[in-house]
Amino acid sequence: MASVIDPVVDLAWLRANAGDVILADVRWYLDGRSGAEAYRKGHLPGAVFIDLDTALAAPASPAEGRHPLPDPAVFAAAMSAAGIGDADRVVAYDDAGGVIAARLIWLLRSIGRQAALLDGGLLSYDGELTTDVPSPPRADFTPREWPAERLASLTDTTADGGHVVLDARDAPRFRGDTEPVDARPGHIPGARNLPCRDNVTPDGRFLPVAELRDRFAAAGADGTAEVISYCGSGVTACHNLIALEHAGLGQGRLYPGSWSQYAATDRPAATGD
């Protein structure tokens, strides 16, 4: 099934399609706070919780990075348990401008499912949150292999293939000023910094499409060359890919291992801008 909804939808769209969409809360925090606990304290009515570490990633390892892609069967089982079936449309949100929820949306869209980020996420909701946890019936979600054409390997990011490599991390980590979680500081040589958090305004809503296109063009991604996106662990890199598609500049490829995999090798690292 081809995705027929835009990768980003707003609250008005969500309300207009109420009853025909499954809402997913995908909060997660690098500082160790519990996304599940945040969900239990209050979430959008009807939303199910999707855990990044167990549903959207395989176990971490130096060889594969901090958030490798989940095994397709594990992902399918998690979707089934959340009541998400093959034909369902999914809208996901978090409280960080979509930089975490984008992982679920990218995974679903990469295998042809209909899925979108809620523009503005939790902050955009103007109703009352709920602590009621839904118990959806188990759905039929067919496992599908992650399509090779949507993925990039460590070698792809360094090969001279005429593509643009975008690093979604904040500028200090890209420059190598600091590295709080991975093996060493810096970035992949030749990569260009496009911090994903700057795809949105302070209220978490995406920039207008024209401004997104300008941002990508300034980083060398104007729609004429293939884009490879990475970040620290392959999660927030998905936000740049969603923004790229939302801006009408193609789909791009994800480097799942990202800096957490690359930094564990002996390949050269670049620092500075």
Q: Residue 86 gets which letter from DSSP? A: T
Kindly state the average pLDDT of the residues 93-108: 98
C-alpha span between 91 and 24 (Å, rounded): 6
Q: Residue 148 gets which letter from DSSP? A: G
Residue 237 reports pLDDT greater than 50: yes
- Determine the residue type at 94: D
Digit-coded pLDDT (tens) for 106-124 = 999 999 999 999 999 999 9
Mean pLDDT of the chain: 96
Residue 143 reports pLDDT greater than 70: yes
Q: Is 140 in contact with 88 (CB distance < 8 Å)?
A: no
C-alpha span between 269 and 146 (Å, rounded): 28
Residue 231 reports pLDDT greater than 70: yes
How sure is the predictor about 3, in pLDDT bands with cuts at 50, 70 and 90?
Answer: low
Active-site residue numbers? Answer: 231
Q: Residue 241: which of 141, 123, 143, 117 has the closest Cα? A: 117
Burial state string for 199-236 with b = 16 or more CB within 10 A and e = fewer than 16 = bbeeebbbbeeeebbebbeebebeeeebbbbbbbbbbb
How sure is the predictor about 1, in pLDDT bands with cuts at 50, 70 and 90?
Answer: very low
Residue 18, sorted as left (phi over 0), alpha (psi -120 to 50) or beta, turns out to be: beta
Give the SS3 label for residue 216.
helix
